[in-house]
Structure formats: C-alpha cells, structure tokens
Amino acid sequence: MSDITEKIYQFPDGFLWGSSTSGPQTEGIVEGDGKGMSNWDYWYSIEPERFYAEIGPENTSTFYKHYKSDIKLLNDTGHTVFRTSIQWSRLIPSGKGNINQEAIQFYREAFSAIKEEGVKLIVNLYHFDLPYCLQELGGWESKEIVYAFEAYAKTCFELFGDLVDSWITFNEPIVPVECGYLGNYHYPCKVDMKAAVQVAYNTQLASSLAVKACHETHSDYKICVVLNLTPAYPRSDSKEDKKAAKIAELFQTKSFLDPSVLGYYPEELISILKEHDLLPQWTPEELDIINDNKVDFLGVNYYQPLRVQAPDEGPKDKLTLESFFAPYDMPGKKINPHRGWEIYEKGIYDIGMNLKENYGNIEWLVTENGMGVEGEEKFRENGFIQDDYRIEFIQDHLIELHRAIQGGSNCKGYMLWTFIDCWSWLNAYKNRYGLIELDLETEERIIKKSGYWFKELSQNNGFRK
C-alpha cells in the first residue's frame, strides 16, 4: 500500500483553460494574401543569418492555410479560451490608410470558427510586429506611430468587436524595449537607453489610447495589457543587492504595470530617469490620458524569475540596465534541461499576491506559461510525443497558482504557451512549446500526451497530484 496521498487541486467555477499564440508566429505568408512587410520580414530580408537555421517569418506554422482544421483541435485539447493576435501589417499593409480586404475576411472567418467551437476569444492588437514602413518613420521612438496605433486599434474594434470577447493592447511591451533598444536582439538593434525610455513611454501612451478607443467604441468591451511580470529576487539580503532588485523591478515590471493598472508612474522610477537625464518627451495631457484610461483586467506571462545582484562598480562606457543591476546565476537552481531556463514555480504565487496587495486585487489571467524543449522528437513513442515533463511543469505551476487563488488573488484563468508548435522570433522551431506537435515536412498536427492531459484538466477543472 502506497504512503503517498494525492491532493485534489480544484479551481473556481468558470475558471478558463486554454492557450495563447500570435499572428506573426503562426500565420505565415501566402502569395497574394495582401500582407505588408513587418519589421521582422524586413530584418530577415537583410540579415537571415541572425535567424535560427535561417528560417524566417514567412515559414511559420501555416495557420493562414489550415485555420479551419486547426480550430477544430481546440476542443480536442480542452480549450475554453484561446488567445491570438491580429497582424497590423496584414490588416493595414502600409500601417495607415487602406485596409486589406483579404485580411478582414480571414480574421472574421477564423474568429467566427473559434466562437462556433464555444471557445472564449481574446485578441491581442500587437505582438512585437510593426509595419516596416512605420519603422522607417522612426518606429516607436516617434509619437506619429502612437496615433497610427490608435487608429489601427479603432479599426480592429469596429471590424471585429462583435466576435471578440475581450481585447489586449500589447503583449509584453517591455520586450521590444529591452531587446530592440537595450540589447541587440530585436530590430532595430539600437542600444540607446534614452531611446529605450522614449519607446517605453510611447508604447504605454499608445496602450492607454487603445483602452480609451475600446471603451468609446462599445462601453461593454473589456481590454487589458499582457505583461511579463518577472519577479526580481536579490542574490542576498545585503542593502546593495536589495537595491538592485528594487531597481530591476522598477524598470522591468513597474514601468508598465503601474501606469496600466494605477494610472501613473512610480516616483522612484521618475527620480532615477531624471537623475540620469533619461526622461522622455511628454506632455501633461498625455499623462492625463494614461491616468484616465486604465485597463479592465491584466494578462500575466510567467516563465522564469529574474535573479539579480548589485552591479559592478567599475567605469561604464555607456549607460545600460547593467549600470543599475546585474544578473545573478544562482547555484543549485532548478533547470529545464531542454531549454536552460530556471524553473521557479513560486514566482507565480508571488505575482498573484503582489497584484492582490498592491494593485487593488485586479482581475487577471495567466496568459502565458510553458516549457520549451529542444529536440522534443526524441520523446516520441507510439506515434506521438510523450511529454510527461510538460505535464509536471504545468501541474507544479498550477499548485502555486491554486495557492494564490486560495489566498484571495483574483485569477480567472490559465493559458499555456502554446497551442500548436509555432515559429519563435530568432529561434524558429528550435524549442517546442505546443500541446500539439507540428511536423515541418508534412504540416501534420499531432496531439501530444500533454494535449490529451490538458483536456482532462479542463473537463475536471482541476487535477490530482
């Protein structure tokens, strides 16, 4: 007789189960589809060697061709909610002005099919993909792009609002700032902290204008922003390490969380920016827009913690984030051996408690959590992927999420990244995240063990472990 007693983790009635993906990572490009060039399309055209195996954004998981059969798989994997995005460059190829009629037809048909499956639909307006012609006008450093985004958002609300259950302004807006303006990882690869601050501010203003437009289009429409709320943990209890963690949180988390949910920026962040002559160009009227147009709920992406320590005291040629805090590689941490990222489930509990205690217990969803695996084909047995490691990863995070909900945090759902293995920015298909395997040669979709398990999870609204 076993001494191990399983515990039942039951989630609240109406809790949502599903997954997230994005247009630029799934749709692909089909000749004659009318799509305009995005920043990713352009970057790949000039530096294909920067992309894993030189697989570019035209070769994504062919959702544009296979959406009807793909959507049928939502119920097979237990979805009650599904999140995707509209590609700005597909809908309005030049960023402003003329609308692509083929895009309207595609999105309306895809969104209608999702609704016909009885699945709640959440649609994101921006997932790192800017029409390239707008990048040529200055990209997110320019206020002109802010108002172009507002017009694009209004167009989406008017064209698709009858089909969409709730909206998202931006996915992880800090990522293009960090990767495109503080690091050489996303186009335009411009390492300039002053420009980074302006991009962050303009993105927040655009998000707030989209919230305003959403509510003006229809007072019942609900809209959020999706943030990767990576908790910052200091190396030690020393004053210097704690200060580094606090500043890391100001830059990485609170720079979008506070204005989006509370309507204003943290005074400590403003002081740091002022001290280093990094304040963006702003107006009192713009701050009023941010203050008056807070999100209705919040999407939260969580993969791994941010571990930091005090920065080196040596001279710096250029001001960067590492002037304020340095990464810390914690010995003995739990690792995903197939991806290299730390696994720290308690982070999702800490996020939930932070939102409860410091952000008015705002309603929120886990909009991304997942486990990337390189070389996942080695786990194929009897014709499909036996990804017990992914099931365990989800379970262990759900245990901490359940604990946060029991503690009063207002979480309404859990969405995995991702539905079907998708193309990933610079990594193509190197790391697989899906509940469903994509065969790159045949374009066949094969449900993994985790996909069947996820359906049981959804049907039972919980699990035993």
**Alpha carbons 316 and 297: distance in angstroms, whole number:** 40
Query: Among 150, 172, 286, 345, which one carries the catalytic annotation?
Result: 172
Contact 132/45 with Cβ under 8 angstroms? Answer: no
Q: Which residues contact 290 (CB under 8 A, 6 or more apart)?
A: 204, 205, 208, 259, 263, 264
- β-pair type (297-301, 232-234): unpaired
Reported confidence tier of residue 315, pLDDT bands at 50, 70, 90: low
Task: Tell me how crowded residue 215 is: count the other CB atoms within 10 A of its CB.
Answer: 16
pLDDT value, residue 316: 65
Closest CA to 224 of 264, 178, 170: 170
Averaged confidence pLDDT in the chain:
95
pLDDT value, residue 16: 98
**Alpha carbons 17 and 9: distance in angstroms, whole number:** 14
Domain edges within the chain = 8-464
**Alpha carbons 34 and 103: distance in angstroms, whole number:** 7
Q: What is the pLDDT of residues 200-219, one digit of tens each?
A: 999 999 999 999 999 999 99
- Tell me which residue has tokens 């959590």: 369
What's 321's DSSP letter? G
Average pLDDT over residues 221-233: 96
Q: What is the pLDDT of residues 187-201, one digit of tens each?
A: 999 999 999 999 999
Contact 296/223 with Cβ under 8 angstroms? Answer: yes
Query: Among 368, 376, 400, 437, which one carries the catalytic annotation?
Result: 368
Q: Which pTM does this prediction carry? A: 0.95
Which CATH number is associated with domain 8-464?
3.20.20.80
- Look up residue 21 and give its amino acid: T
Q: Beta partners for 417?
A: 20
Contact 232/253 with Cβ under 8 angstroms? Answer: yes
Reported confidence tier of residue 1, pLDDT bands at 50, 70, 90: very low
How far out from the chain centre does Cα 188 lie?
20
E strand or H helix that includes residue 214: helix 193-217
- Look up residue 128 and give its amino acid: F
Q: Is 172 a catalytic residue?
A: yes
Task: Tell me how crowded residue 96 is: count the other CB atoms within 10 A of its CB.
Answer: 17
Answer yes or no: is pLDDT of 436 > 70: yes
Q: What is the pLDDT of residues 82-123, one digit of tens each?
A: 999 999 999 999 999 999 999 999 999 999 999 999 999 999
Q: Calculate what percentage of the chain has a pLDDT beyond 90.
A: 92
- Look up residue 448 and give its amino acid: K
Q: Calculate what percentage of the chain has a pLDDT beyond 70.
A: 98
Answer yes or no: is pLDDT of 3 > 60: no
